Amino acid sequence: MADLRDKTVAYRLRKEWPAYVYLLPTILVLAFLNAYPIAYAFYISLTNFGTGGHFLSYEYVGWTNYTTYLATTGWPPLAAIGRALLWGGTSGLAPIFNLAALASPVTTSQLWPYVQNSFFWAGVCIFLFLGVGLGLATVLNQNIRGKTVYRTLILVPWAMPAFITILVWANMWSYNYGIINQLLASAGVARVNWLGSTDTAWVALFVTNLWLSFPFYTVVFLGVMQAIPKDLYEAAAIDGAGSLAAWWRITIPYLRPTIAFVGLMGFLFTFNNFYPIYLITGGGPLNTTQIFITKSYSVAFGASPQYALAAMYGMVDFVLLVAITLVVIWRTDLTRNWLK
């Protein structure tokens, strides 16, 4: 009974309340710095702020921005939800959705391409980060000559300011003056307009972001590998296991929780990683590399600012990331030790 009582949240709160009192100032500061901006952005998304010149005088328009966007999205399930919300509003929910404002809806474009691009951008990047980081960590964990020098050099891309590094890469991808095309030309290969087509623009973005991120993943994986008991590898060698078998059956199981954690954190960060896309492609060509965060910025600070629509983009982005986080935590059981 005592063991069961010790595991209840209420019992632990009664027992450890002084610790939570000490944490209260930090919690209040974080609530102000995080919860308040989210709540205010949600409120702005329910208005016509910045739409049609409503900067100084704007009004509440309910869920109009959301329902209009869902109804016009390019993905059938979201479009069906949007149409259902619009239909529901006309049959008694008009005070909630304020459908009278639909007479002059905000200027919209399809939502689904930015959802696709955001997932594509984050998914491919994380695949590259984990693969390259794990591979380099495996190599640096071996008894090779000069590995201390290699471990130091591998931190150089991480030590440079990301903003400066991205600008350097943007110039390297230049069609006329970039060093990449100059190297291709010196090798007898035709120049490539890296930023002029969708496929090559994505390649440029992935390579740039990989350069910015792989040192972190390499260092994290290498640290975990060095903490694995050497006795396990010696026992595996005695049993006749080769290097690949030992890596798969010893190293990977030890790394699995770390891979799940850094993979989730990296996905959430990359999903909203604004700078590479904004500084290299600007969302082009023709918005084909535009993701949620860059689209929100262009809508808010473009030639015709629409802050309410930009806030709506931000809230949809926030809900997606929260949903992804909850699903990953549920499926990987990352919180299993929190209440122990």
Report whether 239 contacts 161 (CB < 8 A).
Answer: no
Best-predicted range by mean pLDDT (158-167, 202-211, 245-254, 305-314):
202-211
> Does residue 119 sit in the same domain as residue 20?
no
Q: Is the pLDDT of residue 62 over 90?
A: no
Distance of CA 233 to the CA centre of its chain: 36
Q: How is residue 124 written in tokens?
A: 């491919």
> Does residue 120 sit in the same domain as residue 240?
yes
Q: Is residue 55 part of a domain?
A: no
Q: Is the pLDDT of residue 295 over 90?
A: no
**Count of domains in the chain?**
2
Q: What is the CATH number of the domain that holds 242?
A: 1.10.3720.10
Return d(Cα 184, Cα 231) in angstroms, integer: 49
Q: Is the pLDDT of residue 222 over 80?
A: yes
The reported pLDDT for the residue numbered 334 is 58
Q: Is residue 317 part of a domain?
A: no
- Percentage of residues in the chain having pLDDT higher than 70: 80
> Does residue 177 sit in the same domain as residue 283?
yes
Q: Is the pLDDT of residue 230 over 50?
A: yes
Q: Is the pLDDT of residue 238 over 90?
A: no
Q: Is the pLDDT of residue 339 over 60?
A: no
Least confident interval from 45-59, 176-190, 223-237, 265-279: 45-59
Domain extent at residue 17: 2-45
DSSP letter string, 293-332: HHHHHHHHHSSS--HHHHHHHHHHHHHHHHHHHHHHHHHH
pLDDT digits (tens, 9 = 90+) for 114-138: 888 999 999 999 999 999 999 999 9
Tell me if the pTM is above 0.75: yes
> Does residue 32 sit in the same domain as residue 173?
no
The reported pLDDT for the residue numbered 338 is 46
Q: Is residue 60 part of a domain?
A: no
> Does residue 29 sit in the same domain as residue 141?
no
